[in-house]
Structure formats: structure tokens, C-alpha cells
Structure 1
Amino acid sequence: MTSAQRLRIVPSQFAVEHLPNSTFPEDDEWIALVRAPEGLTVIREAPAWVEGELWKGFYSASPSSPNSTGQLAAVVGPLAEAAIPVFVASTYHADLVLVPSHRLEEASDALRDAGHRIAD
């Protein structure tokens, strides 16, 4: 594993949507978009009225280079070992690692046990 990382919990809750027949969302209220042959995946800050799975995010508290290796694996590995599902959106400086909201505490514990520091 690479050295332990300092992660912060993003205060927002997120919704992840799949829009099978879209190439772009109808609004600009999104955080990340991924277009693929099967449609568009949209990550957005969850509005109060949203139904379905809500996600919380971990994000690096200190940026890294896109050439850094093992940064994402060091975070998702312990979550996989704890059988916690993830959804990831990568940025130039870090990865936004989403976990189901109801498993945030369990995910935080797994990451701490792996040596990461979580800034609340």
C-alpha cells in the first residue's frame, strides 16, 4: 500500500444517476459526467426530494499528481475488503470516492484501520 492519506468527508450527499438515452443532462446541476455507449452517468449533489441510494464522498485533503500510483487503490482496497461498494469520479488532483451514506461510519473505520486519516 502507498503511504497513508489524509482524506476529508465531503459535506454534501450525492445521487448517482444513469440516463440511458442522454448525451448531456438537461440541467447544469451536476458534479461529474461520464458518457459511455450505454448512456450517461451523472453524479450530482442530492436534492432534498431525491429518492433512492444516497452517497457520501471521501476526497483527498492534499492534492496529488495524476502520475502518482496507488493512491486510488490504497483507498478502495480497504473498502473492498470490508465489502463496501464504491463509486469513483477522478479529478486532476484527487479521486472522489463515494460510499453509500448509510455505510459512511463503517467505511471511515475501514479506512482508519488501513492507516488513513479522516478529517471530519
Structure 2
Amino acid sequence: MNERIATMDVVALGSGAAAIAISGDVTAACEQDLMAAHEQATDDGAKTIVLDFHGMDYMNSGGIGMLVTLLVRGQRRQQRIAAVGLTEHYRQIFQLTRLDEAILLFDSTDQALAGTAG
């Protein structure tokens, strides 16, 4: 299988928030890159992490597992985790796996910031 390598770009959003823009295929193979991006955002003082999936092409069960690992790391740091840019298909997967109970889903980054404030 020739999968597209995922990229993780950290974008400071101000007010203790950061986005991780995720592009490509989200599989267990990109775990190190996602965790490094999370560390960068955390080191920059982010208490809210917005996972931006607008550039994601594909996610498999390994990618879901990696998000659970990220969620645990975020909870240990008292961070709020939100997601934007999921297609309807991946929103359904988040709902079926109940991941949407821990990672709040929003339509936009502005909505995510408003919905996680506090």
C-alpha cells in the first residue's frame, strides 16, 4: 500500500490555544509526528488543542488508536481537545467509537475556540 505521509503543522491561535493541522493519511505510522506536534503546542502553553482534519485524506483504526493516546496525554495536562474538518463519514466513526464524547467536534476553528472556552 502506498500511503501518503501525514504532516502535522502547529498553528498558534492565541489565548492558550493551538491547532494541529493534519494532512495526509492518519495511521499509527504518524504517531511520532502527532505526539511531537502536541508537545510543541504544549510547550507553547496551549490548554486547548484543535485538531484540524481539513487536509486529511484517510484514517484507519491505527489512527483512531493514536488519537486515543493523544487524548490521554491531553487529559493528563488538563487540556481541552477539539476537532474540526471531519467529513460526515469520519464524524460517524467518532460517534460510533464514542470518541466524540472526549474530543468535541465543531465545524470551524472559531466555533471550537468558543465551545472550549472556560
Q: TM-score, normalised by structure 2?
A: 0.30
Larger Rg computed on CA atoms = 1
The structure with the largest helix share of the pair is 2
Q: TM-score, normalised by structure 1?
A: 0.30
The structure with the largest strand share of the pair is 1
Q: Which has the higher contact order (CA 8 A, sep 6+)?
A: 1
